[in-house]
Structure 1
Amino acid sequence: MQVPKILFSFIIFIPRCYTQELVTDRPDQTESAVTVPLHSLQIETGFAYESFNENNIYVENYNIAGTLFRYGLENNVEFRFGAGYLIYKGEETTVDFDDLLVGLKINFLKEDSAPIDLGLMAHVVVPVFPIFNFQLIEPELIFAASRSLSDKFSISANFGGSWDSQWTEVAYLYTTVLGYSFTEKLGSFIEVYGNLSSSFSPVHNYDAGLMYLLSNNLQLDISGGRRFSEDDSFWFISTGVSLKINNF
């Protein structure tokens, strides 16, 4: 059985138009095209529960304090480090640190001077969690683009690929998201995302969520989603918080 996992999707556009102060890479399944400001540290953390059932094989994942650290190295370059703690419940229960993410994001275009926001992320995923011990270090590249449609609506798309060490091939990733801002503080999104590979059937998912801005540098979120499939049952819920520290 291939253990299901939410692959780092590709740009998603939640209502990032509702504030210019805090642009986060959660709660959606993707990354924005925007980098954090120079010398700013942004911490995005939360809890996620995943349930998967296929061919009478039932798996539960509890991702505890899954955290992405983002630091502005330049005005258009950020360093990224992701870590977390995972409880995997399958035939046996395994508790350990989740795989690590290390990389950079570069912003090439900004919508205030170009038609779209455009960015590129280069990551490596370092295997740590013991149940995935067949993995090697896996590189990935993700292109991110986004555009505001109005004061209320925005749209984005992501496309990229990562090396799958289990199947020794490239797995392709995509995401498309529509964001809507109810107010300056309350935003929402709906999204479709998935992955494609020659070794297994395409996987397509959808999710939705809400974000609430407590201040210019502090945001709460909640989201949930499931799979477009009659053959298996996959769904998840997630909640978290994002904090930006300026001049760190």
Structure 2
Amino acid sequence: MKTKITILFLFISTLIYAQNIEPIQADRPDQTETPAIVPKGMFQVETGFTFQKNDAFSKSLSLPSSLWKYGVNENFELRLITEFLSEEINNEKINGFSPIYVGLKVKLTDEKGIIPKTSFIGHLSLPNVASKEFKTEFFAPEFRFVMQHTLTEKMSLSYNLGAEWDGFSAEPTFIYTNAIGYSITEKLGSYIEIFGFMPQNKKSNHSIDGGITYLINPNFMLDLSSGIGISKNAPKNYFAFGFSFRI
């Protein structure tokens, strides 16, 4: 009898907890990462497939790219990024896993007036944990400050500022993103975004993209997105779809 009561209590507690947490928030499909932290004790996976045409002679496929996240507490999450790539340049193909990234996200501030909801994201790539074709010479760090403002009940403004290294040189590439999100319904969301990469000693490239998300339930979401380059040296276009879930 005591065992049945205990199981019933745990089941009810789980339902109450699920009702009290917000619907899943993911770092995909846009380039702008969210400041939201995965709830404590929950495991979240965000995975997707990307088809990108770089120029007339090259294209790349991400099959897939996955972000694995675990909520340690309300202010901190652990992160792991894995990606299988297929690249074609002048009809020559290479396939394999890119270096794994390990990292974290730390909550810095809640939204208050003009102060945005802000978190810090940091990753470090492991050069030897990769397929031979995609190994780098050095460990490669990357970081972002991710911010979000609530504009209206249905609209938000999000932006990221940061930098990344390629694992071959000490020169950084600076990153910016700026996205407007709009909730069409309680389940259907949309966004439009501009983003770019600014290498220290090369020309910057800038792109624009947009997409939609659909919330199947509070813990499972689908997404669809596409974008085009707006500077000459940016990738010509890309198309992506994926899903995110947490348990």
Normalising by the residue count of structure 1, what TM-score does the alignment of the two structures yield?
A: 0.84
Say if 2:32 and 2:179, in contact at 8 Å, map to a contact too. no
Say if 1:160 and 1:173, in contact at 8 Å, map to a contact too. yes
Correspondence for 1:123? 123
- Sort the Cα spacing of 1:112 and 1:22 in 2 relative to 1 into closer, same or farther, 3 A: farther
The 5 Å alignment of 1:139-154 reads: 139-154=141-156
1:130 and 1:191 mapped to 2: Cα distance? Answer: 34
2:234 and 2:196 mapped to 1: Cα distance? Answer: 15
Q: Specify the SS of the correspondent of 1:164.
A: coil
Correspondence for 2:63? 64
Residue segments in structure 2 that go unaligned for 5+ positions in a row? 1-20
Say if 2:52 and 2:235, in contact at 8 Å, map to a contact too. no
Counterpart among 169, 185, 188 of residue 186 in structure 1: 188
The one-letter code matched in structure 1 to 2:120 is: L
- Of Structure 1 and Structure 2, the greater strand share is in 1
Say if 1:167 and 1:199, in contact at 8 Å, map to a contact too. no
2:135 and 2:73 mapped to 1: Cα distance? Answer: 36
The one-letter code matched in structure 1 to 2:95 is: V
The 5 Å alignment of 1:45-64 reads: 45-53=47-55, 58-64=57-63
Q: C-alpha root-mean-square deviation of aligned residues, in Å? A: 1.9
Runs of 4+ in 1 over 6 A off after TM superposition: none
- Cα-to-partner distance string for 1:166-186 (whole Å, 9 max, x where unaligned): 342111111000011100000
Aligned pairs, how many? 224
1:36 and 1:231 mapped to 2: Cα distance? Answer: 36
Residue segments in structure 1 that go unaligned for 5+ positions in a row? 1-18
Structure with max Cα Rg: 2
Q: Does 1:108 align with 2:108?
A: yes
Correspondence for 2:173? 171
The 5 Å alignment of 1:3-22 reads: 20-22=22-24
2:131 and 2:180 mapped to 1: Cα distance? Answer: 33
- Sort the Cα spacing of 1:63 and 1:217 in 2 relative to 1 into closer, same or farther, 3 A: same
- Cα-to-partner distance string for 1:25-74 (whole Å, 9 max, x where unaligned): 10011321111010100111111101111xx6x11111112110110112
1:88 and 1:25 mapped to 2: Cα distance? Answer: 24
Q: Specify the SS of the correspondent of 2:203.
A: strand
Correspondence for 1:84? 83
Correspondence for 1:75? 74
Q: Specify the SS of the correspondent of 1:65.
A: strand
The one-letter code matched in structure 2 to 1:85 is: F
Higher normalized contact order (CA 8 Å, seq sep 6+, divided by chain length)? 1
1:211 and 1:230 mapped to 2: Cα distance? Answer: 29
The one-letter code matched in structure 2 to 1:121 is: I
